[in-house]
Structure 1
Amino acid sequence: MTWLALRQFRTAAYATTAALAVILALLAATGVGLRDRYSALRPACGSGGPECSVVAQAFFRENRSAWLAAIALVLVVPALVGTFWGAPLVAREVETGTHFVAWNQSTTRRHWLLVKLRVLSLAAMLTAALCTAAVSWWSSPLDEVAIGDFPLMDPLMFAARGVAPVAYALFAFVLGVTVGMLVRRTTAAMAATVALLITAQVLFPVLVRPHLAAPVETTTEISDHRSDGFTVERVGPDSAALLPGSSGAWFLSSTIVDPSGTVVDSIPVSASGPCVSPVNQDRAACFAEMGELGYQFQVRYQPLSHFWPMQARESAVYVGLSLALAGLCLWRVRRNLT
């Protein structure tokens, strides 16, 4: 039965292998040059400072489109697996009537489905793993210089790195099979699978991911010199914002509080002090005045140290959902789908 499943899957396997080969070759060919150019930036940075930031940002802007395309590639692989592998698996059999033959042989329909799920699930996870590993290697120089705008814990980056994309691929495939079994029309099942996957990818980072690990809650000073990787930016003559900077953290909330702990929108700085100067002038003195008045940042965030624990927990959630859906499919296939 495993041999039969592999034989029926061979067309998709050949197409996937060819696409992966092209992608891996392209990433390998361009990745070496990308890493060489990044290595050449280090002497220009010297001991760091604003000039280093300017060079790094120029390097990132030069390759930003390709970097975003690489992220999109990792994110789209699970959707393709669920749509083109999962949704038609049962729906096409029922729609064309071939399930009458396939499910009336010496092999039970439950065993038929179990073998299909096992073989294609492994293929889906392997495809996602290879694609994610290749993109992560290619993107690593750009990830380092993009950390200020795209922290590793940011929802977009988090979903395209680590082991989570492998779990997404497994979930997408089994979800597609489940939808196909319930809808029993291939085109409708494919469309519904895409819609459900997009919904899951939008809602999960908002409703579930922030709670996979206890966020860090802290109150920190308004200062131009920070040692924890955060940066402070002026957003007006009487207000400032705390940014992840080089910490790679995911900010859940960041507000300014007065000395009593009350959240405020602005700080009553002096009308003739350093904060009335144009933005980027007397920056340190302005922040010093805000701090002397007793105003601080109150922030909740997921630090970079939570990346791998949250990756493991999110993957476990998706694997658990996949197993539950697979159980539903195995139960449902025993019923008469005609």
Structure 2
Amino acid sequence: MTAATTTTATTAAPAATRARVGWGDLLWLTWRQHRWTVGGTAAIAAGLSALALGVAWHVDATGHVEHTLLFDEYGYLTVAQALAVAPVLAGFLIAVFWAAPLLSREYEQRTHLVVWTQDLSPARWLAGKVVLLGAAGAALSAGFGAAVVVLMNSVNRHTDGGSEFLPFHSDAFEVVPHVQVGYALFGFALGLALSALTRRTVLSMGLALVVFFLVRGLVASVWRPYYASPLRSVAPYDPLPENGRNIAWPARDALMVDVGYLDAAGAEMDAVTDTSCLSTADEADGYGRCLFDQGVRQTFVDYQPVDRVLSFQLVELGIFTAFAAGLFALTFWWVKRTHRV
């Protein structure tokens, strides 16, 4: 008798897997963790924006800026000048108080060992922070900047000559929403990168404060005047001018880049020419004649015209956005490289 051999196929039970943390859950967790920071900042920005818009409405309604607030302590013009500075500080606050503690606190408290599990990689955790907090910071900065721009325009319309806030002055130039977005992104990326590199909250906050203002100052003073080749205004030099030096000054709303003297051939004179004649300043007409004897025949002013303001602002937005992109890339690379579970 032959026994029939049968093979019974058995199906193994599927291995249990944990659901991957979705982007919606990640953003919700980020919001839950940072809601007080974002909400508090939004409340302050909304309050200051309401103040700016309210003052602008009253200035337009009355046609002048001679009003005061808080029992005549502060005039509308003083309020406008103070609010003009506030958006410039937005990127700094985001760098120091939003981004700098973000990673360093996780490292110091060792919570990254729990958060960055197999279900949630460091890159995805970091991406959730960047998307929610970076976008919120940029939106708040842009919104507040837009409100202050409305106030500036109202003050200029009702100020003699409309010259209280000139387009190339740092307050008016930097407050516009598109430039504010660049500063906010740069501030957030800078604080985040320092937070990842140092892993120390106080140290990263201090470095973010210093580096943010150093970079901003460098760009504003060294790069901004040369985003495009300056125009030159030239005038003949008169050693005996009626009203001081006969410099060919451009319009008041232009950005001054350089000023100096030219010889008969149109070549720029060395700055020492100006200082070498200081000893004759006490003599009647001595200073002007000394410069003329030194060979000065013309004066020049290099400047950026006001119609370049928008293009310069877009260039500055591009610069700080590029800075932010590089810092974000550095942060993601560094976190992935140094992560140990």
Is TM > 0.5 for Structure 1 vs Structure 2?
Answer: yes
Rounded to whole Å, the distance in 2 between the matches of 1:75 and 1:252 is 22
SS at match of 2:338: coil
Q: Contact 2:55/2:76 (CA < 8 Å) preserved in 1?
A: no
Aligned to 1:326: 328
The one of 3, 13, 19 equivalent to 2:44 is 19
Rounded to whole Å, the distance in 2 between the matches of 1:164 and 1:183 is 28
TM-score by length of 1: 0.75
Q: Contact 1:150/1:157 (CA < 8 Å) preserved in 2?
A: yes
Consecutive unaligned residues of structure 2, counting only runs of 5 or more, are 1-25, 67-73, 278-283, 286-291
Which range moved further: 147-156 or 7-16? 147-156
Q: Contact 1:94/1:337 (CA < 8 Å) preserved in 2?
A: no
The CA deviation string for residues 64-109 of structure 1, in whole angstroms up to 9 with x for no partner, is 4223211210111111111111101101111111111111240111
Rounded to whole Å, the distance in 2 between the matches of 1:157 and 1:68 is 10
Which runs of structure 2 are paired with 1:22-41 in the superposition (5 Å)?
22-38=47-63
Q: Does residue 1:115 correspond to 2:93, yes or no?
A: no
Identity among equivalent positions (%) equals 26
Paired amino acid for 1:179: L
Aligned to 2:259: 254
- Aligned residue pairs, count: 286
Consecutive unaligned residues of structure 1, counting only runs of 5 or more, are 42-60, 224-231, 269-274, 277-289
Q: Does residue 1:7 correspond to 2:12, yes or no?
A: no
Rounded to whole Å, the distance in 2 between the matches of 1:260 and 1:93 is 66
Q: Contact 1:159/1:165 (CA < 8 Å) preserved in 2?
A: yes
Aligned to 2:222: 207
Rounded to whole Å, the distance in 1 between the matches of 2:247 and 2:208 is 40
The one of 88, 91, 94 equivalent to 2:107 is 94
Q: Does residue 1:190 correspond to 2:193, yes or no?
A: no
SS at match of 1:252: strand
Q: Does residue 1:306 correspond to 2:308, yes or no?
A: yes
Which runs of structure 2 are paired with 1:1-338 in the superposition (5 Å)?
1-38=26-63, 63-143=76-156, 145=159, 148=163, 151-220=166-235, 234=243, 236=244, 239-246=245-252, 248-257=253-262, 259-261=264-266, 263=269, 265=274, 296-337=298-339
Paired amino acid for 1:305: D
The CA deviation string for residues 28-79 of structure 1, in whole angstroms up to 9 with x for no partner, is 22221122344699xxxxxxxxxxxxxxxxxxx9644223211210111111
Q: 1:104 to 1:116 in 2, by over 3 A?
A: same
Paired amino acid for 1:27: A
Q: Contact 2:152/2:165 (CA < 8 Å) preserved in 1?
A: no
Q: 1:64 to 1:179 in 2, by over 3 A?
A: same
Q: Contact 1:252/1:302 (CA < 8 Å) preserved in 2?
A: yes
Rounded to whole Å, the distance in 1 between the matches of 2:57 and 2:237 is 41
User: How far 1:158 sits from its partner (Å)?
Assistant: 1.6
SS at match of 1:333: helix
Paired amino acid for 1:316: G
Which range moved further: 124-133 or 149-158? 149-158
Q: Contact 1:91/1:186 (CA < 8 Å) preserved in 2?
A: yes
Which range moved further: 133-142 or 22-31? 22-31
User: How far 1:334 sits from its partner (Å)?
Assistant: 0.8
Rounded to whole Å, the distance in 2 between the matches of 1:28 and 1:208 is 33
Rounded to whole Å, the distance in 1 between the matches of 2:242 and 2:218 is 30
Rounded to whole Å, the distance in 2 between the matches of 1:308 and 1:115 is 33
Q: Contact 1:87/1:179 (CA < 8 Å) preserved in 2?
A: yes
Question: Greater CA radius of gyration, 1 or 2?
Answer: 2
The CA deviation string for residues 88-134 of structure 1, in whole angstroms up to 9 with x for no partner, is 11011111111111112401111111121111111011011111000
Paired amino acid for 1:300: D
The CA deviation string for residues 208-264 of structure 1, in whole angstroms up to 9 with x for no partner, is 2122222212324689xxxxxxxx994x4xx24454544x11010122445543546
Q: Contact 1:38/1:141 (CA < 8 Å) preserved in 2?
A: no
Rounded to whole Å, the distance in 1 between the matches of 2:123 and 2:171 is 38
Which range moved further: 317-326 or 207-216? 207-216
Q: 1:233 to 1:79 in 2, by over 3 A?
A: farther
User: How far 1:314 sits from its partner (Å)?
Assistant: 1.2
Q: Contact 1:78/1:172 (CA < 8 Å) preserved in 2?
A: yes
The CA deviation string for residues 129-188 of structure 1, in whole angstroms up to 9 with x for no partner, is 111000000111334547657531133432223521110011001100001111111111
Q: Contact 2:249/2:301 (CA < 8 Å) preserved in 1?
A: no
Rounded to whole Å, the distance in 2 between the matches of 1:108 and 1:305 is 48
Q: 1:114 to 1:147 in 2, by over 3 A?
A: same
